[in-house]
Amino acid sequence: MSGIPAERYGARLAAARVEAQAAGLDVLCIGVGADLRYLTGYEALPLERLTMLLVPAADGVPLTLIAPRLEATPARTCAAAAAGAVEVVTWEETEDPMALVASRLSEGLGRDASDLRAVAVNDSLRAAFVLGLQRVLPNASFIVASTVLRRLRMRKDADEVALLRRAAQAADRVVLAIANGRLVGRTEADVAREVRERLLAEGHEVSEFSIVASGPNSASPHHDAGERVIQGGEPIVVDIGGQVEGYGSDITRTLWVTGGDATAGPDPEFLRLYEVLQRAQAVASEAVRPGVACEAIDAAARDVITEAGFGPNFFHRTGHGIGLEGHEEPYLVEGNSEPLAAGYAFSVEPGIYLEGRYGARIEDIVVCTDAGGESLNEAPRDLLVVAG
């Protein structure tokens, strides 16, 4: 069972070719990573041995997936290869895979690969492979492939949104289970372990991160869950995520743990901080619609927080795109004038942090639709006051 129909990969490859032509490229060279998975469905191992998809820009030239001999089976059974959209060519242990790249390109294009002028490689391609390509394509200049693939990757189709929604709803259930479970007396690391187990139990194949930041640790946005023991009378920021069929979840909720003591509830300052934060997160989410610049969503959240006097306490961008990578374009940050479009999926996650005391963050994954922003996360955004 897969959420992305096999024929979709042929359409993506065709679209990538069109983008490569428009950018004046000779070829896209895509190694292991999210771009390869997006274009072929192949979740290849990130080995020191070369796996590489070659997408020549010229119409009619066959697409080649080069893989080490021992990876032949997974390469040949990936969606794009099984559908006949790419031809799989394997190399033996004693062969030079870069020579194979050059010969496949020469054959396909009907001219010497050393004549190629413009090549794009996936942004995360290992330096050793980039240098290898530069050796066999000595006259080419190189750019990162995100410049041509970003437009395709940012705009999620209905099947991709469905996977993001499945991931988000699973993460919602995990956050609520954690909020309703025992917390006081446990270490952050212990709770983080429970988060990871629950994400897997809820259908994630990968549990990627689990931030459990209690008390003063909640003032550090990327706190690494540690040996601190959770007590009554303090907040916990829970920021968790993983992958469902490669597509990410990423949710943050803030709890206040009373330990069952009626006098250990949130103090007035925390309540005020949280009210401002919740308003900022809502205003930013509601500002989402096609044509609005990414930086305007950031400004929407930041203005609310700044007007309330917490401006210096919100020191990260408002959000990041999400899809086959946990952080990808578009970034909701000042200076990014990219207009939102239907299908863009990203986090909206303002935070307010009072160093040494406490902090809070609220994060949803929001999809831009023609009708406006739609949050894929549905867990309540109110401060969750729990006995713990």
Chain residues binding Zn ion by CB under 5 A are: 239, 250, 252, 347, 363
186/316 with CB nearer Zn ion: 316
The residue (of 309 and 380) whose beta carbon lies closer to Zn ion is: 380
The token duo for 363 is 């994060």
Rounded CA separation 233/117 (Å): 63
Token representation of residue 250:
């990423």
Long-range contacts, stretch 72-75, CB < 8 angstroms, 24+ apart: 74/42, 74/44, 75/42, 75/44, 75/51
Smallest gap from residue 278 Cβ to Zn ion (A): 16
From the CB of 347, what's the least distance to Zn ion, in Å?
4
Taking the least distance from each CB to Zn ion, the nearer of 26 and 194 is: 194
* Cβ closest to Zn ion, residue 10 vs residue 246: 246
| Shortest distance (Å) from residue 47 CB to Zn ion | 29
Of 250 and 325, the one with the shorter C-beta distance to Zn ion is 250
What's the min distance (Å) between Cβ of 197 and Zn ion?
A: 19
∠ CA 199-203-208 to the nearest 5 degrees? 40
Do residues 364 and 251 lie in contact, with contact meaning Cβ atoms separated by under 8 Å?
yes
Q: Which amino acid is at 18?
A: V
Q: Residue with structure tokens 């990410």? A: 248
Number of residues written out for the chain: 388
Q: Which is nearer to Zn ion, 12 or 153 (CB)?
A: 153
For residues 89 and 100, the answer to whether their CB atoms sit within 8 Å is yes
Query: Where does residue 48 rank: exposed (0-12), middle (13-18), buried (19+ CB within 10 A)?
Result: exposed
Minimum CB–partner distance for residue 263 and Zn ion (Å) = 32
Closest listed residue to residue 174, CA positions, set 377, 349, 385: 377
In the structure encoding, which two tokens stand for residue 380, read together?
A: 């309540």
* Beta carbon of residue 293, minimum distance to Zn ion (angstroms, whole number): 20
Min CB(376)–Zn ion separation in Å = 13
Map residue 214 onto helix, strand or coil.
strand
Q: Which is nearer to Zn ion, 31 or 319 (CB)?
A: 319
- Residue 5 CA to residue 373 CA, distance in Å, equals 26
Neighbouring CB atoms inside 10 A of 213's CB total: 29
384 three-class SS = strand
CA distance 101 to 104: 5
Smallest gap from Cβ 322 to Zn ion, in A, equals: 7
Query: What is the Cα 298 distance to its own chain's centre?
Result: 18
Contacts of 157 (CB under 8 A, 6+ apart): 8, 343
CB of 251 to Zn ion, least distance (A): 7
Q: To the nearest whole angstrom, how small is the minimum distance from the Cβ of residue 149 to Zn ion?
A: 21
Of 56 and 326, which CB lies nearer to Zn ion in the complex structure?
Answer: 326
How far, in Å, CA of 330 to CA of 319, rounded? 9
Nearer to Zn ion, 250 or 329 (CB): 250
Task: Say if residues 334 and 299 touch (Cβ distance below 8 Å).
Answer: yes
Nearer to Zn ion, 254 or 347 (CB): 347
